[in-house]
Structure 1
Amino acid sequence: MAATGHHGAPLLVVMGVSGSGKSVVGAALAQRLRVAFVDADDLHPPANIAKMSAGEPLDDHDRRPWLETIGEWLAGHDASGGVVACSALKRTYRDQLRHHAPRVRFLHLDGTPEVIGRRQSSRPGHFMPASLLASQFATLERLAPDEAGEVVDVDQSVDAIVQEYVDLSAVG
């Protein structure tokens, strides 16, 4: 897509802590870029959802098969393009996704704990309780300079975030 400034259809992971807007922004970006979308939350095995619902953070052992499934989805959409909403909080998780889809880019939806906490409180019934927000921020490893991607502040409208990503990726 010409709007992305990259060769081929865009392949993107919208990343960030729980409550940053990954699902909403990811779906809007996929629609704007005319590619497939999947919310990685929908790819969690039932045991992971049960653990998070009980207020327990996932460990790397829990995440490994989930990340493999996401990586396989990305690899399967390499030619046609796609957007995944996935926390991808650690570099090792992003490396695992890149192993399957080397050209994947990341959009980090960044915000303060106060802004994210406010957003989380407006999502009643979501399986990730607000009590786990501190552990999400503690786990977060920001994109390194050698990682393909952009960082956008979440304290703006979804349309503004989507436009900022399109503008940034067109020059980056």
Structure 2
Amino acid sequence: MTQRIVVMGVSGCGKSSVGAALSQALGIPYRDGDDLHPAVNVARMRAGEALTDADRWPWLERVAQDLARLAPVIVGCSALRRVYRDRIRAGAGGPVLFVHLAGSREVIAARMAARSGHFMPASLLDSQFATLEPPGPDEAAITVDINQPLDRQVAEILRRLELRDR
């Protein structure tokens, strides 16, 4: 089966770090979903404006297109709501596994405060958590607690991928 993996979660949860490390471990490319945002979306977020569903649809289309075109591939994408994940699955050209990086608001806020150079301000974190619908039991998803070192997060994902493939 061609792997299509979306590393998902609220801003600041570690999608880029986990995606890059998982890419190295699996030997498949990683694509940062932030690079797929239309410029107007980046400008809105940089200005502290939360995106609407209408703002997100073109971005989600790009994520789905990359999953279809580049598979095997890992894409970092917040994919906060079930309808967003459904849209990604519909356009991905095959099965998609979502890896949900879950953590408390406090842990993620501290991470966001420590990073520099990212367009997403910490002031939008509450809107991210308000929008988040964790994957349901009927979705192809793995949830990983981010309150552990990066290497342990990746090891847990790899272990759970192996269990899924048996």
TM-score class, shorter-chain normalisation, is over 0.9
1:54-92 Cα deviation digits (max 9, x unpaired): 0001101111111101100000123xx110011000000
1:13-63 Cα deviation digits (max 9, x unpaired): 000000000001001101111111110001111100000000001101111
- In the superposition, the TM-score normalised over structure 2's length comes to 0.95
Check the 8 A contact 1:17/1:89 in 2, yes or no.
Answer: yes
Instruction: For structure 1, list consecutive stretches of 5 or more residues without a partner in the other structure.
Output: 1-7
2:32 is equivalent to residue 39 of structure 1: yes
Aligned equivalent of 1:92, options 83, 86, 92: 83
Aligned equivalent of 1:164, options 156, 161, 165: 156
Identity %: 53
SS at match of 1:155: coil
Aligned equivalent of 2:111, options 104, 112, 119: 119
How well do the aligned residues superpose, as a CA RMSD in angstroms? 0.9
Q: CA deviation at 1:136?
A: 0.4
Output the CA distance in 1 between the equivalents of 2:129 and 2:11: 9
- In the superposition, the TM-score normalised over structure 1's length comes to 0.92
SS at match of 1:52: helix
Output the CA distance in 1 between the equivalents of 2:60 and 2:142: 21
* Counterpart position of 2:125: 133
Aligned equivalent of 1:58, options 51, 63, 70: 51
* Counterpart position of 1:4: none
**Amino acid of the structure 1 residue aligned with 2:67:** L
Runs of 4 or more off by more than 4 Å in structure 1?
none
Output the CA distance in 1 between the equivalents of 2:61 and 2:78: 14
Output the CA distance in 2 between the equivalents of 1:29 and 1:60: 29
Output the CA distance in 2 between the equivalents of 1:167 and 1:13: 17
SS at match of 1:161: helix
* Counterpart position of 1:25: 18
2:100 is equivalent to residue 105 of structure 1: no
Aligned length: 163
Check the 8 A contact 1:10/1:33 in 2, yes or no.
Answer: no
Aligned equivalent of 2:6, options 4, 13, 21: 13
Output the CA distance in 1 between the equivalents of 2:114 and 2:2: 33
Check the 8 A contact 1:37/1:82 in 2, yes or no.
Answer: yes
Output the CA distance in 2 between the equivalents of 1:62 and 1:12: 23
